[in-house]
Amino acid sequence: MTYDLDGVLPVRSVERAATLLRSFTPDRPWLGLAAISRMAALDKTTARRLLLTLADAGFVVQHRERREWALGLAVLELAAAVPQAGTLREAIRPVLAGLAASTRMTAFFSVVRNDAALCIERVNGLPEFEIKWWRVGELIPLNCGGGPRVLLSYLPDEAFDRIVKVRAVNRTQYSETARKSLREARERIRARGWELAVNDFVDGLSGVGVPVFGADGAVVAAVSVSGLTPTVVIESTEPACLPALRDAADELGAILRARGHRNGQAANRPLCSGDESP
């Protein structure tokens, strides 16, 4: 049994609902009642009652035919309003805005959360064309996309192996999921300090990502840009947007270091961790 600082007992039903919501992940977005009750360690009656209550508030939805459940849009609506994330977003947004404007692409700032890539902030640099995927607060697989693949490559060996084994997802025909190819990509990314991901999350879109370093020299985040593949993939040794990305990464790293982020930690709260419990 746990208590808060005032000695007040936690509300058990809220704890159970939170555990239930954490059953959903990017690689298992749809779950049946039996799977949810097992993962949340709840009996089916309690799990079903909680699901119906959460559905009424928009936090989960049910597929009419398969009778499976998934997270609802209310989860994304809340994500953008988290105070801690909001404070960080406020600090990094001007840098992302400058990057988006100079590259005329969508700029992303992401970290590792629950063995997936979490979008902390994004800024669109092309008013007439906006990329709809990976919204603020959304988790996506680490094996797809420029930023996520950078984050995956700088994780410790144990976390890297675990994620590659159970969480690598085929989003398109170009997605890399084989352990050997992802290990080779990891070595390449670490050697050159950037990644170009072509059509591997959404066919027709490509992205470039670079690492952001914290106070102790560890990678705590990634900054990336994404756009239509013909505008990103240009015949040259390096993507044209790479200098702007590296400048943005330096600026973002300075912001994070000033805020005390080191080795994924700031004010005892995780910013980026491959071993974080869900």
pLDDT of 7 over the 60 cut: no
What is the number of residues in the chain? 278
Q: pLDDT at position 64, please?
A: 83
Residues 235 and 163 in one domain: yes
Q: Three-state SS across 154-193?
A: CCCHHHHHHHHHHCCCCCCCCCCCCHHHHHHHHHHHHHHC
Of 155-164, 205-214, 231-240, the least confident: 231-240
Residues 37 and 111 in one domain: no
pLDDT of 112 over the 90 cut: yes
> Rounded CA gap, 150 and 148, in Å?
5
CATH of the domain at 223: 3.30.450.40
Strand partners, 116: 113
Judge whether 247 and 235 are in contact, CB under 8 Å.
Answer: no
Strand partners, 276: none
pLDDT digits (tens, 9 = 90+) for 243-272: 999 999 999 999 988 877 654 444 334 454
Q: pLDDT at position 82, please?
A: 62
Q: Which of 72, 89, 104 is the last residue of a domain?
A: 72
Average pLDDT of the chain?
Answer: 84
> Rounded CA gap, 109 and 59, in Å?
25
Q: Is residue 245 part of a domain?
A: yes
Residue 61 CA: distances (Å) to CA of 23, 30, 68, 139, 240: 14, 10, 8, 18, 42
| Number of domains composing the chain | 2
Judge whether 109 and 146 are in contact, CB under 8 Å.
Answer: no
Q: pLDDT at position 263, please?
A: 47
pLDDT of 4 over the 70 cut: no
Residues 167 and 233 in one domain: yes
- Whole-prediction pTM: 0.68
CB burial class (10 A; 0-12, 13-18, 19+) of residue 36? buried
Q: pLDDT at position 235, please?
A: 64
Q: Which of 72, 93, 112 is the last residue of a domain?
A: 72
Q: Look up the domain containing 144 and give its range.
A: 80-270
pLDDT of 5 over the 60 cut: no
Q: pLDDT at position 12, please?
A: 84
